[in-house]
A and B are shown apart, each in its own frame.
Chain A
Amino acid sequence: MLILAVDSSTPVAGAAVVDEDRVIIESFTNYKKTHSETLMPTINRILRECDCTIGDIDALAVTAGPGSFTGLRIGMAAVKGISMAAKKPVVAVSTLDTLAGNIAGSNALVAALLDARKNEVYCAFYDASGIRPERLREPMACAPETFLSEARALADYEHKDKIILLGDGYYRYSDYFNTELTNRLIPIPGHLMLPRAAAAGILAAHKARQGEFADVFQLRPWYIRLSEAEYRLGKGEV
């Protein structure tokens, strides 16, 4: 099963074609955030480079959040358009799951965290001892301090001595986390630190096998956060 995966949820823009567990082609760009200009040309280019047309693709995958509100919508809108026109099903994958998908076979507590600005991170915790990350807690937006105390409590509860932090949320507060966690923290090389469209594609292939497709007419980003205006009006959760 061929999957075209698209990620524009953070400053990284990525697209990949995966065949089940095999990565055929991947584009990863962590340079200048002009997703609206670069995303479609990138998709067009990688398909051509692997001699595919959109007709050859079996399903589309998109990172649905959390992440930059505008970035999420650029990727999701493009995928909705492609899905309708090419009549291809869509699998929505969490951006945090995608990040956690960079680690496998580790006994450490894995935390994926994205810079949510306003002194907060979007984060989720994972058991990454198997081939796919198992999410331990629902994703949330919180202060780095809250995140850290959750991480410690959860690591103790799960009897995990070591902790792995992934994502630009780590970069944003790295001094703080390094000081607080010292040698509990396992450093991770840079090519595994940010979301990879290939990882989203491989997670999506698994979801597709379970029949977990999204309804394009209903699908909306997982913002986690309300818009400022809704927040001020005292609206409930999204």
Chain B
Amino acid sequence: MKDILILGIETSCDETAASIVKNGRHILSNVINSQINIHREFGGVVPEVASRKHIENIAVVVDNAFQEAGLGYNDVDAIAVTNQPGLIGALLVGVSFAKGFAWALGRPLLAVNHLHGHIYANVLEHGDISFPAVCLVVSGGHTSLLYMKDINHYKVIGETRDDAAGEAFDKVARFLGLGYPGGPAIQKAAAQGTAGKMKLPRIFLDKNDFEFSFSGLKTAAMNAWKRIEKSRELEVTDLAAEFQQALVEVLVEKSLKAAKINRVESLLMAGGVAANEHLRFLMKEKADQENIKVYYPSLALCTDNAAMIAGVAYQQYITKSYAPLELNAHPGLLSL
């Protein structure tokens, strides 16, 4: 069978990314223009600034993806683009560009759900995942547990009721003055501190469901800091370590419970927070004891990228699930 080459375009948040993936598996190029240093000045992603950077960078990033792969524009069979969820103005740059590019090239357009991309990043790197599986999707916008019949079919079995895990990381990091983005900032501080010198709550809600809640933990961490800042009884690094520990323990315990109850052998992690080293370590350690195999993408594919978009779109290409020229972007999630 002929090789299928798909160009993926991703602009849902603060990375302008383009990638070409062969047959849904082999990454031929993976170009990411990160705006992290720009948004750091503002203490978080500013949607209008992100959109401005996307329109400036999109043509260069896409062209670089072709150059890196050693291909001409005409060599690709389809164009895949993230159209949900994300920052609406940012998504619209990628969607509008992709529509123009696909139309002028006479190639089909494929609309991709960003979270499907994150989940698929696992498949891009691990060929041996056995299904059914449970997947923890954990990022700045989402904290969900999914039951996956196979890579293309899943249902949500639990979600956060308030803050997403990544959001809690960002807010607490900002409050503690550790900087932006919050995940890496807290991870770095936590590595210098000791968890357990003080105690933050592990909020499990109902022990028997798979819902999450992080706003209570976030508030507890902030209140603890107000006290510690004055008394100096502890270092900020100790608080960061305890906060990370409390958050990660809940994620690990709920994920493993979901895996056991659903009798799956594979546990996948996806999304930006899945890059957290302590989460990776603890999940693997606990899962090993239960004979559950844990998969997570390499750091480069955990954070936003277009390879996961081009990869996951392969199945849509095969089934001819093309998007129309009317395709719009959606900030929220229509369906997972």
A217 touches B100 (CB 8 A): no
A86 at the B interface (CB under 8 A): yes
A237 at the B interface (CB under 8 A): no
Known: A80-B59, A84-B62. A69 touches B89 (CB 8 A): yes
Please, which residues of chain B bring their CB within 8 A of the CB of A85? 73, 100-105
Interface residues on A, range: 35 or more
Q: Which of B47-55, B160-168, B233-241, B263-271 contacts A (4 or more CB under 8 A)?
A: B47-55
| Minimum Cβ distance to chain B for residue A47 (Å) | 10
A172 at the B interface (CB under 8 A): no
A70 touches B59 (CB 8 A): no
Please, which residues of chain A bring their CB within 8 A of the CB of B60? 217
Q: Which of A19-27, A161-169, A228-236 contacts B (4 or more CB under 8 A)?
A: A228-236
Most interface-central of A44, A70, A79, A228 (chain B CB within 10 A): A70
Q: Which of A176-223 contact B (CB under 8 A)?
A: 216-217, 219-221, 223
In the bound complex, CA of A84 to CA of B58 (Å): 11
In the bound complex, CA of A223 to CA of B49 (Å): 12
In the bound complex, CA of A36 to CA of B63 (Å): 23
Known: A70-B89, A221-B55, A227-B52. A80 touches B104 (CB 8 A): no
| Minimum Cβ distance to chain B for residue A73 (Å) | 5
A84 touches B52 (CB 8 A): no
| Minimum Cβ distance to chain A for residue B306 (Å) | 15
Contact with A along B99-143 (1 / 0, CB 8 A): 111111100000000000000000000000000000000000000
Known: A37-B326, A85-B100. A73 touches B93 (CB 8 A): yes
B104 touches A227 (CB 8 A): no
Please, which residues of chain B bring their CB within 8 A of the CB of A40? 96, 99-100, 103, 325-326
Q: Which of B42, B92, B100 contacts A70 (CB 8 A)?
A: B92
In the bound complex, CA of A222 to CA of B100 (Å): 21
| Minimum Cβ distance to chain B for residue A90 (Å) | 10
Known: A36-B328, A217-B63, A221-B55. A82 touches B89 (CB 8 A): no
A82 touches B104 (CB 8 A): yes
B56 touches A227 (CB 8 A): no
A74 at the B interface (CB under 8 A): yes
B290 at the A interface (CB under 8 A): no
A34 at the B interface (CB under 8 A): yes
A16 at the B interface (CB under 8 A): no
A79 touches B100 (CB 8 A): yes
Q: Which of A26-42 contact B (CB under 8 A)?
A: 34, 36-41
In the bound complex, CA of A5 to CA of B97 (Å): 16
| Minimum Cβ distance to chain A for residue B38 (Å) | 10
In the bound complex, CA of A34 to CA of B100 (Å): 16
Known: A74-B96, A78-B96, A85-B104. A229 touches B326 (CB 8 A): no
| Minimum Cβ distance to chain B for residue A37 (Å) | 5
Please, which residues of chain A bring their CB within 8 A of the CB of B58? 77, 80
In the bound complex, CA of A90 to CA of B102 (Å): 18
- A–B complex contacts, Cβ < 8 Å, 28 sampled: A34-B328, A36-B92, A36-B95, A38-B326, A40-B96, A41-B326, A70-B88, A73-B51, A73-B54, A73-B55, A74-B92, A77-B58, A77-B96, A78-B97, A78-B99, A78-B100, A81-B97, A81-B101, A81-B103, A85-B102, A85-B104, A85-B105, A86-B104, A217-B60, A219-B59, A220-B52, A220-B55, A221-B52
Q: Which 9 A-B pairs have the closest CB atoms?
A: A81-B100, A81-B101, A85-B104, A77-B96, A78-B100, A227-B48, A86-B104, A229-B46, A82-B100
Using a CB–CB cutoff of 8 Å, the interface residues on chain A facing chain B are: 34, 36-41, 43-44, 54, 69-70, 73-86, 216-217, 219-221, 223, 227-230, 233
Known: A73-B93, A77-B55. 16 other contacts (CB 8 A): A37-B327, A54-B104, A69-B51, A73-B55, A76-B55, A77-B93, A77-B96, A78-B99, A78-B100, A81-B103, A85-B102, A85-B104, A217-B60, A217-B63, A220-B52, A221-B52
